[in-house]
Structures are given as structure tokens and as C-alpha cells.
Structure 1
Amino acid sequence: MSAICRFIHAEKANFTIVLLCRVMKTARSSYYAWAAGLEVREARRRADMALAHEITVIHIASKGTYGVPRVSAELRRQGRPVNRKRVARLMREHGIAGHTRRTGRRSLTKQDPGAAPAPDLIGRDFHADRPGTRIVGDITYIPTA
């Protein structure tokens, strides 16, 4: 609908709005409602650009680490109350993303460099003459003292 209204707006100097709306199969009220919101949409776009600039400044000042929650909180601290969803939309549209921390999980194959290796009680001989005589397991993935 917006593309049709933009076309009608561009061609209204050459043709009447009534004719353009009839040819494009659009209600005149729809065109006039769209035209009435032009100034509001332009003001909103300018406000979004100014806010995006502020978000970029905050993001750069944080060395690229702040995401949506922290940027929103910083804007509120500066006296600029803005909805978190608007900040998220602007950051997404401008390709601004915060740095996420890694989780505290440990690798299963990495050993603690300060820990002594466990003693080899069966001498690497895993062959058992009878069932249940040599039972082994690995619990190195469980963090212990």
C-alpha cells in the first residue's frame, strides 16, 4: 500500500488524485491518510537517526561490549527514557551488537595445569579374567577440590 501511495504522490502533479486512485484501485481515503502521516513518519525517522547516533556513541564508549539492556540503562541514566524494544530495533537495523560472555563450562579434555594426575592403579591393563574384577570409569569432567 505504501508503494502505491508513494506512486500516487509522485504523479499527482501530472494526473488528478481521483484518476490515479481509480487506476491503482486504491481508496482516496487511504491515500489521504497516508499523506497526512508523511510529516509524522519523517519526524520519527529523524528521531530514530538521532537515537541511533547516541546508541553508537554509547556502544563505542563501552568498547563494543554493551548490548541492548546496558545501552537502554545508559540512555535512561542520561535522562533519555527509551523503550528497550526500540533500542533493540535500532541496534539490529544498524548492525550494532554487544559482546556476549562465554559460559563457565570447562572442556572435558583439558586438565587443570596445577592438578597432579591420578595414579594408574591397574597399570593400563584393562583385561579382566572374570566379570566385575576390574571396573574403571572417568569422572574427570566433574569439578572437585
Structure 2
Amino acid sequence: MKKSHQHILQERQLTYEFVSDNSTMFSVESMCKTLDISSSAYYEWKKDIPSQRKIAWEKDTRLVLKEYNESKCRYGSHKITAVLNQNGVSTSRNRVARIMKRNGIKSCICKSYKPQTTRSDHGKRVALNHLNREFKTNEPCKVWVSDLTYVPTEHGWLYLTAIMDLFDHSIVGWSMSEDMTAENTVMKAWEMAKRNRKPKSERLFHSDQGVRYVAEELKKRI
């Protein structure tokens, strides 16, 4: 039966691959002669095969462009590298940076929005500064200090409130909330601090003059 052209090409491809796989053990010329193929034809086939380095580069380029586009052009080389490594792709920041430079892309950094966590224009009565920068105390539960900050996440802002005991600088109470109400921020942290330290005497509670810290509900609770 006469072989089809497609079948002949497939056999030749397999033969070339056999020669390539065994080229470290035998000479290419001797294998080509034994298998009755042209060595020059084999080298032409070899030249047309993309190198493993080129294949890897093209693969990494596709992955980098994918993460860049999915981030709406916000991610730079540091962030893209971190995401790829988390997804099991082993690459370096320098390699990602080279890929981005070669493709003419860079992080589009927008001015980030920062929520205002301290509002002191509330018009409410505030306490005097009794702490006066005396940040050392020799007894636990004598001085607690507190502050509120924000944490950006993929799903929006979270607000972290912490209370520290200046005796050992331990965080004795904290809360994480999606809003900045006194009930969900300072008061939850206050209740945790009381449970953890179980104070038995009066103590000084120091904070900024933000609206959460002068809330009437918090004053009653304290």
C-alpha cells in the first residue's frame, strides 16, 4: 500500500525527534546514515524548532499580560510576580520587569483614596491630655492607649481598632469592622481589653479626639 504524504511527514517527524533525543549518545551523522535520512534536512528541522528558552519566555509573557490586564493595568512587576508565585508559577521580579518593558507596559498608579479615620471637627466636648507623653508605667492596666486605622482589601476598606497596655506594650483589645461606628470599633475593642486583662482599679484611657472616641455610648461604657 502506498503511504500518504501525511503519513510520510509523521514518520519523518518521529525520526527527527529520535535523532534529537539521542544526539548526546550517538553522532547525528551516524544516526542519519543508519536511518537513511539527510543530515542537512535534520539540521533544517532542528533550526525551525523554537528553543525551550523561547517557549518558556512566551509562556511567561502570556501569564504576565493576563495578570496585568486582569488588574486593569494597576499591577507592577512586584505584584505580578507575587501573584504568579502564589499560583505555582516560578519566576522572578527581574524577569517579569523585563517582560513588561519589552511589551511596553507599566503599572498605572492612581492616586489612592485614603479614608479619614480621625474627625475632630465634631463639636463635642473632649477630655484634657492627662497622659502628656508619659508613655511608661510600672503597673499593668494603669494606662491604655488606643487608635483606629484602615486596611485596604480587595473587597473594600476594613477598619482596625487597637488598645495597648503601656505596661508591656501588649495589644489587649482589638476589633475589625466594615464601618467606623463607635459600637463596632472602639467599644468592641474596649470589651475585649476588659475580658483579657480584667482590670480591678481605675486606669487612664488615652486616644485622639476623633468622633468615635468622644461618642456618648463609649463614655457611658467607660
Specify if TM > 0.5.
no
Structure 2-normalised TM-score?
0.27
Q: Which has the higher strand share?
A: 2
Q: Which protein has greater RCO, CA pairs closer than 8 Å, 6+ apart? A: 1
Structure 1-normalised TM-score?
0.41
